[in-house]
Structure 1
Amino acid sequence: MAALEIWARSVDLHSDSLAPPSAIAAAFGLAISDGAFLSATRDTLASAFAGLIIGGAIGLAFGIALGVFQVFDRLMEVTVEAVRPIPSIALLPIALIALGFGYRMEIAIIAFACVWPILILSRAAVQEVEPRLMEVARALRLSPADRVRKIIIPAALPRIFVAFRLAAGIALIVAVTVEIAINPIGLGAAIMAAQQGLQPDLMLAYLVWIGVIGYGLNAGLNLAQRHLFGRAALVGDPA
């Protein structure tokens, strides 16, 4: 950072895309003081968390069903593998026509993006539940609902939480991308407004802020994961 500051000052940098770190810090402080960061952050996080909750609930329900019922898993395999690779951003034209600008369109796209990591990882977590636990469930003659509630979910929960943590990062990425591409709210729209206003210091300040939010979100969820599950949190954790 010091080298970049020295270089920018030595060449008397005048650019529409770059700014010295001191100018970025000044723009950062000004945007926080006038509330621009807070309102844009609120809009982006509201959409990201709403989409994460909706997509997570759908992905978890289908993931558990696919993991428990092998026949259902085989029947849905082609459908899942055909729909999963579709980029969420490719749905923008359809979502815009159906839902228009605003929160609903952004939440729908985020939910679609969040379904897949939670579905795939929760299905794998359920399928890898210790077989002896399933034998205990059969010996106790538990109903399918009780088997899921009392045996499968508690055993698979650490890996399901890992899926939720990964989906949270995806939700933030997709939210900002949708706002940059088409939706005039949130941090993505603020970045585009700064770029179009030839304010590279403010634009880069928003980028730094998004990185801070992403890091804080992941660190918080990682801490919660380790606090809730202890050593079990390390099982299946890609981080």
Structure 2
Amino acid sequence: MAVSPATLKGLVLPAALIATAEIGGRMADLQYSDSLATPSAIVVAFGQAVADGSILTTTRDTLVTAFAGLGIGGTVGLLIGILLGVLPTADRLMEVTIESIRPIPSIAVLPIALIALGFGYRLEIAIVAFACMWPLLILTRSAVRGVEPRLMEVSRALRLTPAARVVKIVIPAALPRIFVAFRLAAGIALIVSVTVEIAINPLGLGHAIMTAQQALRPELMLAYLVWLGVVGWGLNALLLFAQQRLFGRAAMVEERQ
């Protein structure tokens, strides 16, 4: 597969920064540093983590909780968003409740979730689901409200039932904007999952980063951190590719609005 000139140009700055960091690290003699490491040391630590399987296990744990929370929270947010978008009366009744709970940081409910669920997957999935519910709910409600009024007139002329109107008219028309909300929620899921692991939950990439930091192994800590960035970039690139394949130019137009 040929690499585009734009991609090559985009790699120039990262390559220059890596080379500068390597040269500067060797000049500063970071061999005994407990907070920084050279890029070459980070690569070696990453290779060791891959060889012993630790980075694969921690990545699996983080992605399992992130995707499970995204699936649960996204589904709840999607259903409530469609309901509020279709029924203005319900939207008005729920507005104060939603706007009172939505600003609460997801990490702030961690003590309550810890008492109720304890450590482990359930704790992290619950926190991620809470965080992912809101972008799907808010943006789905907005997308449903923005459906072309003439399409709703056609559905009434065809005498579609409310359920059929939602399935055949509302959801297909709002789907490009809903997928943009799903991309946003996917990023939030990964961020919140790692944050919970760093804060308190003893599993996943976040816990591995903290363990390496406490063991005074900056090269391993930074290897996990770089790998986390690669995972996030790959996830976003995969969803962006799916968005373009599914919706074409319409998806890009919706994202700019």
Q: Same fold (TM over 0.5)?
A: yes
Three-state SS of the structure 1 residue aligned to 2:36 is coil
Question: Which residue type is aligned with residue 4 of structure 1?
Answer: A
Q: Is the 8 A contact 1:48 1:175 kept in 2?
A: yes
Structure 1 residue 235 displacement after superposition: 2.8
Structure 1 residue 11 displacement after superposition: 1.5
Question: Which residue type is aligned with residue 40 of structure 1?
Answer: T
When the two structures are superposed, what TM-score results if normalisation uses the length of structure 1?
0.98
Q: Residues 182-208 of structure 1, C-alpha deviation per residue, up to 9 Å, x if partnerless? A: 000000010011000000000000000
- Give the structure 1 partner of residue 55 of structure 2: 37
Residue 141 of structure 2 is aligned to residue 127 of structure 1: no
Q: Which of 235, 238, 256 is the matching residue for 1:217? A: 235
| Aligned Cα root-mean-square deviation (Å) | 1.0
Q: Residues 55-76 of structure 1, C-alpha deviation per residue, up to 9 Å, x if partnerless? A: 0000000000110000001111
- Give the structure 2 partner of residue 188 of structure 1: 206
- Give the structure 1 partner of residue 22 of structure 2: 5
Q: Which of 109, 119, 123 is the matching residue for 1:91? A: 109
Q: Is the 8 A contact 1:158 1:235 kept in 2?
A: no
- Give the structure 2 partner of residue 204 of structure 1: 222
When the two structures are superposed, what TM-score results if normalisation uses the length of structure 2?
0.92
Structure 1 residue 81 displacement after superposition: 0.8
Question: Which residue type is aligned with residue 91 of structure 1?
Answer: V
Which runs of 5 or more residues in structure 2 are unaligned? 1-17
Q: Among the aligned pairs, what percent are the same residue?
A: 72
Note closer, same or farther for the CA distance 1:191–1:121 as it changes in structure 2 (3 Å cut).
Answer: same
Three-state SS of the structure 2 residue aligned to 1:213 is helix
Instruction: Count residues with an aligned counterpart.
Output: 239
Which ranges of 4 or more aligned residues in structure 1 deviate by more than 2 Å? none
Three-state SS of the structure 2 residue aligned to 1:60 is helix
Structure 1 residue 234 displacement after superposition: 1.2
Question: Which residue type is aligned with residue 215 of structure 2?
Answer: G
Which runs of 5 or more residues in structure 1 are unaligned? none
Alignment partners' CA distance in 1, 2:163 and 2:144? 14
Alignment partners' CA distance in 2, 1:163 and 1:219? 15
Residue 251 of structure 2 is aligned to residue 233 of structure 1: yes
- Give the structure 1 partner of residue 121 of structure 2: 103
Q: Is the 8 A contact 1:113 1:174 kept in 2?
A: yes
